[in-house]
DNA sequence: ACCGCACCCTGAGCGC
DNA sequence: TGCGCTCAGGGTGCGG
């Protein structure tokens, strides 16, 4: 769910609730694929530490601690980072829905990390059903290959740079947009939307897109990401803001998950195809 | 260096 | 009601 706008919305809403607070206790779920740093070691390292910053790089969040350690967080596909007490139907399983839970988030088996603070509630919760999310502790001064690999932040998408990087690529232009080493933060939804806004078909070879088109595309990448941040992100399946609220951008998307619907410009039928194992949506008439 | 693919995990929604 | 299937916005690691 979470692409750059959702991660940025999370960061902006979460920061005032956590920065400057001291972690009093840490509860972790069992070791899993989710914990790159084993839970016991993570809990020991975080307990008693003060959170000094919350930053974003691409789709990663970096929680800085006053002692110089940093916690690298990734929301994966179903990650939810929120304050305890947040109310959202998206925080419940279907079973909880039907049993009439009021939506107030109780830790369930998908809540892998709980931080509680010295000055009292609410604490921070990290829930992730599919466990494609990640938690990783970075020692003071230490970086991580995941971060080193990231290309330019997509909010600063640069058309000329995209054009240069595209010259030796035989893969489709959409694959280029999704490459985090090229543009950090763009995912499936916003790639489809930006290509639609630019009149470029996602299947077209990256090499076949002109400099002029890359300039337009970079502009539209920025535009769609900023607009989504303004509306609180896209809550298409699991994303919620730290306060439990849904984003609204899903109501503004033009092609993503609109297969079979009419294009807003020309009324042609939006089609869905698969590119690189991911669904892609476009207007066969407006996008060439 | 790049490309396509399998894989990590769980749940929802569908047809039968 | 239940079974089996497909799908889901993430990234990584592999062989070619």
Task: Give me the domains of chain A, ranges plus CATH numbers.
Answer: 4-148 (3.20.190.10), 152-252 (1.10.8.50)
Cα torsion A265, A270, A274, A275 to 10°: value is -10
Among A107, A112, A129, A82, which Cα is nearest to A241's?
A82
What was the pLDDT predicted at A67?
97
Q: Name the nucleotide with the smallest C1'–CA separation from A93.
A: B11
What was the pLDDT predicted at A277?
87
Rounded to an integer, what distance in angstroms lies between the CA atom of residue A9 and that of residue A228? 9
Q: Name the nucleotide with the smallest C1'–CA separation from A108.
A: B10
Distance A238 CA to B3 C1' (A): 31
Instruction: Confirm whether any atom of chain C, the nucleic acid strand, is less than 7 Å from CB of A277.
Output: yes
Residue A113: CB partners within 8 Å, gap ≥ 6? A26, A27, A28, A29, A42, A124, A125, A126, A135
Among A198, A257, A256, A247, which Cα is nearest to A222's?
A198
Catalytic, A21? Answer no
**Residues of chain A (26-85) having a beta carbon less than 7 angstroms from strand C:** 58-59, 74, 76-77
Both tokens of residue A225?
């990401």
What was the pLDDT predicted at A81?
95
Nucleotides of C under 7 A from a protein CB: 7-12
What was the pLDDT predicted at A96?
59
Rounded to an integer, what distance in angstroms lies between the CA atom of residue A243 and that of residue A81? 9
What was the pLDDT predicted at A54?
98
Catalytic, A50? Answer no
Query: Beta strand pairing status for A152-153 and A183-184?
Result: parallel
Instruction: Confirm whether any atom of chain C, the nucleic acid strand, is less than 7 Å from CB of A178.
Output: yes
What was the pLDDT predicted at A1?
62
Q: Name the nucleotide with the smallest C1'–CA separation from A146.
A: C11
Instruction: Confirm whether any atom of chain B, the nucleic acid strand, is less than 7 Å from CB of A170.
Output: yes
Catalytic, A40? Answer no
What was the pLDDT predicted at A12?
96
What was the pLDDT predicted at A88?
85
**Residues of chain A (136-155) having a beta carbon less than 7 angstroms from strand C:** 145-146, 149
Rounded to an integer, what distance in angstroms lies between the CA atom of residue A182 and that of residue A76? 19
What was the pLDDT predicted at A90?
83
Angle, helices A211-230 vs A188-198, to 10°: value is: 130
Could you tell me the end-to-end alpha-carbon distance of chain A, in angstroms, rounded to an integer?
Answer: 27
Instruction: Confirm whether any atom of chain C, the nucleic acid strand, is less than 7 Å from CB of A129.
Output: no
Going residue by residue through chain A, which has 288 residues, state the pLDDT in tens, using 9 for 90 and above.
Answer: 699 999 999 999 999 999 999 999 999 999 999 999 999 999 999 999 999 999 999 999 999 999 999 999 999 999 999 999 888 888 866 555 555 555 555 678 899 999 999 999 999 999 999 999 999 999 999 999 999 999 999 999 999 999 999 998 999 999 999 999 999 999 999 999 999 999 999 999 999 999 999 999 999 999 999 999 999 998 877 888 888 888 899 899 999 999 999 999 999 999 999 998 899 999 999 999
What was the pLDDT predicted at A228?
95
Rounded to an integer, what distance in angstroms lies between the CA atom of residue A36 and that of residue A133? 10
Three-state secondary-structure class, residue A210: coil
Contact A21, A119 (CB under 8 A): yes
Catalytically annotated residue among A11, A59, A90, A254: A59
Q: Name the nucleotide with the smallest C1'–CA separation from A59.
A: C10
């Amino acid at each position: 769910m979470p692409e750059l706008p959702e991660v940025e919305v999370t960061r902006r809403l979460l920061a005032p609730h956590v920065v400057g607070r001291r972690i009093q206790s840490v509860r972790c779920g069992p070791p899993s694929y989710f914990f790159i740093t084993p839970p016991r070691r993570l809990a020991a390292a975080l307990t008693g530490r003060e959170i000094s910053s919350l930053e974003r790089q691409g789709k990663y969040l970096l929680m800085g601690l006053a002692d110089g350690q940093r916690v690298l967080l990734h929301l994966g596909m179903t990650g939810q980072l929120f304050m305890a007490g947040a109310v959202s139907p998206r925080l419940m399983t279907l079973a909880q829905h039907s049993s009439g839970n009021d939506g107030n988030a109780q830790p369930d088996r998908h809540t892998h990390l709980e931080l509680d603070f010295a000055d009292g509630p609410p604490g921070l919760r990290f829930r992730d059903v599919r466990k494609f999310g990640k938690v990783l502790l970075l020692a003071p001064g230490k970086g991580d290959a995941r971060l080193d690999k990231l290309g330019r932040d997509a909010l600063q998408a640069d058309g000329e740079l995209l054009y240069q990087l595209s010259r030796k690529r035989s893969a489709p232009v959409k694959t280029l947009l999704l490459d985090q080493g090229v543009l950090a933060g763009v995912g499936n939804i916003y790639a489809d939307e930006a290509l639609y806004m630019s009149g470029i078909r996602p299947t077209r070879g990256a090499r076949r897109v002109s400099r002029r088109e890359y300039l337009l595309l970079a502009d539209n990448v920025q535009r769609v990401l900023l607009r989504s941040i303004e509306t609180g992100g896209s809550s298409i399946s699991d994303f919620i803001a730290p306060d439990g609220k849904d984003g609204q951008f899903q109501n503004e998307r033009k092609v993503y998950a609109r297969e079979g619907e009419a294009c807003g410009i020309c009324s042609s039928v939006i089609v869905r195809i698969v590119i690189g194992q991911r669904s892609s949506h476009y207007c066969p008439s407006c996008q060439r």
